[in-house]
Amino acid sequence: MSLLLDVVLKVVVVLFAVLTGFAYLTLLERKFISRLQARIGPNRAGPAGLLQPLAEALKLILKESFVPSRADKFMFFLAPILSVIPALMLFAVIPFGNNDVLQLASHVPVGVLLVASIIGTAVYGIAIAGWSSNNKYASLGGLRAAAQVISYELAFGLAMIAVVLMSSSASLADIVTAQFGGGILGWFIFRQPLAASIFAITAMAELARAPFDLVEAEQELTAGYMTEYGGMKFALFYMSEYIKMIALSGLFVTFFLGGWNGPFAQEFWPLSLLYFFIKVLACLLVMVWVRATLPRLRYDKLMAFGWKGLLPLALANVVVTAALIVSGLPGYK
């Protein structure tokens, strides 16, 4: 009974935190990108635009639920659900802080595998959305999504394998503990810079964020796979993108930025939550910054970059890391 209560409590707390985080991430992105682009951003709804996410949610809920003619109705409704569930599931294994509740399920010994498999399923939502809409732009978007994810999944996995080698554990809680020694230099970003950059790039590609936003490239495919979606169905796609942004930032923090660890975080758990929050926020702001700066890659160039550039690099990195660990170099024991 108490175990069940524990689980329910965790689920409710995490869902609440993540959904609020998502809503305000959209506002944060719009505010921050506005500043980068010499404009003000949303400031009408509530003080400093703070009620903007609420206003938008209300608008989307009230919109008519529209299904295009000759669309596959069942699949059309299924796609947004398939897209948002994996995004939410990712949070199960991310340790938010140094506290039993905040650690969630991060002690599972197959945490990294779980992450890889959940992310792998996220593309089904997009591909099905593109296929079921009976729209040519949408199907092009869906095809692009499938191709893009396949090209980047491998490098993404290999970047995580380097981390697993370093911490000799696939549990995310252990990966955080493996980065304890040596202060800030103990973080894997300094011991595994290549894996960190490959992870960051592939994560951006997984998210289909700029400069890899070919899936929804507005200027080419109008809105890509979500062209025919409106109202709450559209909101679910939007939600899955932003929740995945938070989740992958959380993973990056856990894998490479020492997780929730920081000065006095091990003694006093609220501090660990604060450190985690700050680190995730920094990652998110970098993503927005990249979006404001870079043009979009072309579809075939993106595939070439994934297969011919990142994959061999990631593979070589795994081999070199393994060799270093065997040789017992300090920092790679």
Partner 1 sequence: MAIVQAPIPIYEDERNTVTAQDAQLDITFDQLKKLVSPRALTGETMLLNMGPQHPSTHGVLRLLLELDGETVINCVPDIGYLHTGIEKTAEGKPYMKSIPLTDRTDYLAPMSNNLAYCGAVEKLVGVDVPIRAQYLRVILAELTRMNSHLVWLGTHALDIGAMSVFLYCMREREMILDVYENVSGARMMSSYFRIGGLWRDVPSSFEPQVRKILEVFPKRVLEYEKLLKENPIWRERTVGIGKIDAVRALEFGMTGPSLRGSGVNYDVRKAAPYSSYDHFNFEVPLGTNGDVYDRYRCRLDEFPQSLKIIEQALNKLPAGPVITDDRKIAPPPKHEIATSMESLIHHFKLWTEGFRTPEGEVYFAVESGKGEYGVFLSSNGTPTPRRVHFRTPSFSNLQALAYMSKGCMLADLVAIIGSIDIVLGDVDR
User: Which residues would be at the binding site for partner 1 (CB under 8 A)?
Assistant: 36-39, 70, 72, 134, 136-137, 140, 210-211, 213-214, 217-222, 291-301
The distance of closest approach from Cβ of residue 156 to partner 1 in the complex, given in angstroms and rounded to an integer, is: 20
Cβ proximity to partner 1: between 198 and 210 the closer is 210
Minimum CB separation from partner 1 for residue 286, in Å?
A: 15
The residue with tokens 């595998």 is 113
Alpha helices (H) along 64-135: 73-89, 111-132
> 105 CB contacts (<8 Å, ≥6 apart)?
92, 93, 111
Min separation Cβ 147 and partner 1, Å: 10
Query: Which is closer to partner 1, CB of 271 or CB of 287?
Result: 287
User: How far apart are the C-alpha atoms of 235 and 233, rounded to whole Å?
Assistant: 5
**Token pair listed for 305:** 């970059």
Minimum distance, C-beta of residue 118 to partner 1, in the bound complex (Å): 28
Yes or no: say if 163 and 188 are a contact pair by the CB < 8 Å rule: yes
Smaller CB separation from partner 1, 32 or 124: 32
Helix, strand, or coil (residue 282)? helix
Task: CB nearer to partner 1: give 91 or 229.
Answer: 229
Angle CA(263)–CA(107)–CA(276) in degrees, nearest 5? 30
Q: Alpha-carbon distance 186 to 331, whole Å?
A: 8
- Largest distance between two CA atoms of the chain: 64
Q: How many CB atoms lie within 10 A of CB 3?
A: 7
CB of 217 to partner 1, least distance (A): 7
State the minimum distance, in angstroms, from the CB of residue 297 to partner 1.
6
State how far the Cα of 53 lies from the Cα of 25, in Å rounded to an integer.
Answer: 9
Nearest residue (CB) to partner 1, 177 versus 222: 222
Closer by beta carbon to partner 1, 112 or else 200:
200
